[in-house]
Structure 1
Amino acid sequence: MGYCIYYKKSEPDVHFTKREHVIPAGLGGISKLPLGYVSDEANEYFSPLEMEILRDSLLAVNRNNVGPGKRGSLNVKKVKAPTMRVMKKEDSSGENYNIGFVFVGESYIISQIAVDFNDKENSCIPSYRSTVFDIQQGKQTLLDFRKNLIGFFSNTNRKFKLIDMPYTTDSHFINVGYFKGKWFAATSHKIINMDYLALILLPALKEEQLKDNEPVLEPKAFLKYTYKFDINTSLFFFIYVKTAFNALAFLKGSDFASKEMFDNIRKSILIHDNSISDFIVNEYNINNELKDIAIRIPEKAHFVIITSRFNSVIAYVSFYKERPALVKLTDNYEGEVFTEAIVCDWKNRNEFTLDEIPN
């Protein structure tokens, strides 16, 4: 019978049909806790919180620029719901803006129509844009997008997500893009009158006045993008503290993780309020033993090193092999001295414990 290390409940109060990743799957985590460690209810409660953190916190910078993608994937074709951004292109002809996303360090422009308005002449110039990799694909991309665009503008109940515009510009533009069944829009103004835009564009679309316009291949190297982080500090700390606790259960077992001495951190993880910062040690020195371990860890790998120190159990949690956060799991430990670790070399799809770290 399972016993949830978070809720400290067993069946029939909770259920156990799923397994929890030790390190978040969205960061490439592979190993899972044994079935019966974390209840389905806890897993379903944590999942949206983790996704919010991975999309909207500082971790998004590494995740977008280095990888991996959705559930650890390195294949852009498997991206389902990336964070859309307004991307800026600057060249000799000036500047223009596109809706797109970043995946493993490369920018991708979704299929879109970009409308540049000339307010002085009361005119506008529409153009198609998309990241395409050959001419034939570009033509088919245009045909598919035009069909979807006509349907979108013809529907008075149209739904779309307005993307935040992080740049200041004197230009007047509206972009409308489509990606995997969802519509996105961006503008230099605060709002978009989509009915007015439909009135302007629908006749041209239906009469195929733009049929000779092929999607423009946007050179990735010249696209600029910015990050806007809206996430609070306690939620950011949550991912470190929860990963530390998962690793504790993975390395020391569910009976150990369920002990009363971990009840305070367990409670803080579940409510993920400001109290979670109490378990983060801001100033610390890494001893030589931990330095020796860290040196052997592959570049950009994630790791959790857990060690006992006097009456404390401490976890060093690092994502992308950056300076680790020190998580104090308990100050009430009485037992043998130990040091354990789990390392996730997500680039090579490999995970190992302390004894398995290459020399």
Structure 2
Amino acid sequence: MSTLIKQCIYLKGTEPELLFESQEHIFPAGIGGIQKLPLEYVSHNANNAFSALELGFMRNSILMLPRQFYGPGKRGNLSPKKASKSTVSLMTAVSAPESIEFGYMSLGKPYSIAQIKINVSTRECGLMFDQSFGDASTQMQNFISKLGEYNNKYFLYEDERFSPDEFILGFQDNRWYLGLSNLKLIPEIQGCIKRLLDQTSFDNQVPQYGQSQPKVEQIIQMNNDFFRVCAKVIFNYLAYIKGRDFVLQEKFDPIRNWIVNGGEQNFATLSGKEQILKSYFSSINCPEKAHKILILQDGSYLFGVISFYGGFETIVQLSDNYKEYFEAEGFICNWEEREEYSLKDFLINKLQE
């Protein structure tokens, strides 16, 4: 009885040097990927190294916008309760640009987080909550309880729109967010909270409700990490269709090493052969927001083209020394319907309809 050898397609190592504990998705699960590679293809060590890359890819790259508007949510879940969220950022009201508060985006809608605004000179304070999360009085009591546990650990947002005497402190997903313009206020914050809790009764406070149209500003990061994840997804698919031994060939070492280690970016671009992808997929009426991969040969070049949410096409050169014949291969991730299929299967099903 033979034992199946486990060898990582990225690190090239085997057991016991590397651990093989989980299967790698072709497309990341967080954007709806379903199909996985065999357990013995990608090591746990490589997966751990890639986790931060993929998280930034989903939360901070250009993909964060369609993901926040359309989904999917955590681990590809399509339930609105599990919808993906943007990172917490400062929001302003379009109708009242002097107003500023913490919030985030989910499925195209802005939400405020529980927060308090304090003016250290006038001793004025205001609590802010989002009606979407239920009764304001209940939210207030929960937030006050959390204020009593404030540990002076926070994510800092320094912004000149705050007056020098005020700060806001928000709480979301077990994290504190502090916004101010005057860093000299920071040593006073814990004392302000203690005095507030000692001197103020919140039991009989009557909430006031209002509506605003918030404006949310988010920073998109487009760097080599985005392209490395694109290359990794295409490389995963190449391993899926051709097998582990195929992608372990030396001709793929340059792209493999760049995916793993980064460095000079000579492999990926947002322009050029993406027209090939458009001509292939636009003519066959793919699901509008599906993710797609196409792997093609051009002389001695083997390259992949990847598309997310029906756009954002990226070309990745997989090898410049591919001498054998390669038949074009494609893959579609229809995350809205929780379906994935090869381009060939998709075309066959279309013909049979």
Place the TM-score, normalised by the shorter chain, in its bin: 0.7 to 0.9
The Cα shift of 1:72 comes to 2.1
Corresponding letter in the other structure for 1:175: I
1:335 and 2:333 are equivalent in the alignment? no
Return 5+ residue gaps in structure 2 as ranges: none
1:227 and 2:218 are equivalent in the alignment? yes
The alignment partner of 1:6 has SS state of: coil
Distance 2:17 2:315 in 1: 33
- Residue pair 1:129, 1:217 contacting (<8 A) in 2 also: no
- Residue pair 2:68, 2:86 contacting (<8 A) in 1 also: no
1:184 and 2:187 are equivalent in the alignment? no
Distance 1:63 1:281 in 2: 19
Aligned residue runs from structure 1 range 39-118, under 5 A = 39-75=43-79, 77-78=81-82, 83-91=87-95, 95-116=98-119
The Cα shift of 1:319 comes to 1.3
The alignment partner of 2:131 has SS state of: coil
Segment of structure 1 superposing worse, 336-345 or 264-273: 336-345
The Cα shift of 1:139 comes to 1.9
Label 1:281 to 1:205 Cα distance change in 2 as closer, same or farther (>3 A): closer
Label 1:139 to 1:103 Cα distance change in 2 as closer, same or farther (>3 A): same
Q: 1:259 aligns with which of 249, 253, 273?
A: 249
Q: 1:316: which partner in 2?
A: 305
- Residue pair 1:308, 1:339 contacting (<8 A) in 2 also: yes
Segment of structure 1 superposing worse, 209-218 or 304-313: 209-218
- Residue pair 1:109, 1:218 contacting (<8 A) in 2 also: no
Segment of structure 1 superposing worse, 81-90 or 43-52: 81-90
Distance 2:209 2:43 in 1: 47
The Cα shift of 1:127 comes to 1.4
The Cα shift of 1:140 comes to 1.6
- Residue pair 1:67, 1:105 contacting (<8 A) in 2 also: no
Q: Please list the CA deviations of residues 46-81 of structure 1 after superposition, one character each: whole Å capped at 9, or x if unmatched.
A: 111211232222222222233223322344644798
Label 1:125 to 1:177 Cα distance change in 2 as closer, same or farther (>3 A): same
The Cα shift of 1:206 comes to 3.2
1:291 and 2:285 are equivalent in the alignment? no
Return 5+ residue gaps in structure 1 as ranges: none
Distance 1:142 1:195 in 2: 25
- Residue pair 2:64, 2:86 contacting (<8 A) in 1 also: no
The alignment partner of 2:275 has SS state of: coil
Q: Please list the CA deviations of residues 309-342 of structure 1 after superposition, one character each: whole Å capped at 9, or x if unmatched.
A: 2222121111111141111111222333411111
Q: 1:145: which partner in 2?
A: 143
Q: Please list the CA deviations of residues 15-54 of structure 1 after superposition, one character each: whole Å capped at 9, or x if unmatched.
A: 2111111111222212111111101111111111211232
The alignment partner of 1:13 has SS state of: coil
Q: 1:129: which partner in 2?
A: 128
Q: Please list the CA deviations of residues 203-226 of structure 1 after superposition, one character each: whole Å capped at 9, or x if unmatched.
A: 33334434444666675x711111
- Residue pair 2:71, 2:84 contacting (<8 A) in 1 also: no
The Cα shift of 1:190 comes to 4.6
Label 1:138 to 1:348 Cα distance change in 2 as closer, same or farther (>3 A): farther
TM-score normalized with structure 2 length: 0.86
Distance 1:38 1:112 in 2: 43
- Residue pair 2:118, 2:125 contacting (<8 A) in 1 also: yes
- Residue pair 1:84, 1:163 contacting (<8 A) in 2 also: no
Distance 1:10 1:168 in 2: 55
Q: 1:205: which partner in 2?
A: 197
The alignment partner of 2:17 has SS state of: coil
Distance 2:336 2:248 in 1: 32
Corresponding letter in the other structure for 2:225: L
The Cα shift of 1:195 comes to 4.2
- Residue pair 1:16, 1:39 contacting (<8 A) in 2 also: yes
Corresponding letter in the other structure for 2:301: S
Q: Please list the CA deviations of residues 268-313 of structure 1 after superposition, one character each: whole Å capped at 9, or x if unmatched.
A: 1111122x333437433634x8614344221222111112222221
Q: 1:161: which partner in 2?
A: 155
Q: 2:168: which partner in 1?
A: 175
- Residue pair 2:6, 2:41 contacting (<8 A) in 1 also: yes
Distance 1:214 1:77 in 2: 29
The alignment partner of 2:192 has SS state of: helix
Corresponding letter in the other structure for 1:291: S
Corresponding letter in the other structure for 1:318: S
TM-score normalized with structure 1 length: 0.85
